[in-house]
Amino acid sequence: MQYRNKIIIAAFLVTALPATAQSQTLEERQQRGADVIRSLNNGATQPNLERMREEFPFLAEATEGFALGDVWSRPGLDNRTRQIAAVTAFAALGETGIMKVHAGYALNIGVTEEELKEAIYLVTVTSGFPRTIAASQALAELFAERR
The CATH number of residue 136's host domain is 1.20.1290.10
Residue ending a domain, choose from 22, 54, 72: 72
CA distances to 24, 97, 130 from 137, rounded to whole Å, are 41, 11, 11
Closest CA relative to residue 62, chosen from 70, 77, 89: 70
Closest CA relative to residue 35, chosen from 79, 68, 83: 68
Task: Kindly state whether residues 61 and 10 are assigned to the same domain.
Answer: yes
Task: Kindly state whether residues 67 and 98 are assigned to the same domain.
Answer: no
Task: Kindly state whether residues 54 and 34 are assigned to the same domain.
Answer: yes
Flag residues of the chain having pLDDT under 70.
1-23
Which residue type does 4 have? R
In which domain, by residue range, is 120 found? Answer: 79-146
How far apart (Å, rounded) are the C-alpha atoms in residues 22 and 6?
A: 18
Q: Determine the pLDDT at residue 23.
A: 52
